[in-house]
């Protein structure tokens, strides 16, 4: 699974002019399921997201997690994170999970996040969304949890 984390002072997702999810300070997380991903990768990714220390402590050092600060989590599905731009000028998306599997894994991440964190909002899967954010820092961090077969091949 792939995620793009953005530390925000606020973020909102609109669909057809209606806000469907919004948070104050916290993390906007774009999430992409890839072919072969399972709940195991989703669990690892979510655990890392919730514990990643990218919020400032009293000394101004990145030393607090979204859980430590009680921040919001805005999860937005985004299959384009799996874009392959290695050849030509048109990205390919063959590594993205099929839509049904992508929805299942995204829904799983949302369900687990809501069980583990008090403030979780979402976009709308497969919708044309407008994402509004104020990136705090800016801090933007890419994350990838590869399925076991891919993880071994990358080593």
Residues marked active site are found at 78-80
Q: Are 109 and 42 in contact (CB under 8 A)?
A: yes
How far separated are the first and last CA of the chain, in Å rounded? Answer: 17
Q: What are phi and psi of 101, to 5 degrees?
A: -70, -40
Q: How far apart are CA 105 and CA 55, in angstroms?
A: 27
User: Can you give the length of the chain in residues?
Assistant: 155
Q: Are 74 and 28 in contact (CB under 8 A)?
A: yes
Q: Are 22 and 74 in contact (CB under 8 A)?
A: yes
């Amino acid at each position: 699974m792939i995620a793009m984390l953005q530390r925000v002072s606020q973020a909102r997702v609109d669909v057809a002019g209606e806000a469907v999810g919004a948070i104050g300070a916290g993390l906007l997380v774009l999430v992409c399921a890839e072919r072969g991903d399972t709940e195991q990768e989703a669990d690892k990714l979510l655990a890392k997201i919730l514990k990643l220390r990218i919020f400032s402590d009293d000394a101004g050092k990145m030393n607090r997690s979204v859980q430590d600060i009680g921040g919001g989590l805005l999860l937005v599905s985004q299959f384009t994170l799996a874009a392959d731009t290695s050849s030509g000028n048109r990205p390919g998306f063959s590594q993205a999970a099929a839509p049904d599997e992508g929805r299942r894994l995204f829904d799983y991440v949302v369900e687990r996040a809501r069980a583990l964190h008090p403030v979780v909002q979402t976009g709308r899967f497969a919708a044309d969304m407008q994402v509004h954010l104020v990136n705090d820092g800016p801090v933007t961090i890419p994350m990838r949890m590869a399925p076991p077969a891919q993880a071994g091949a990358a080593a």
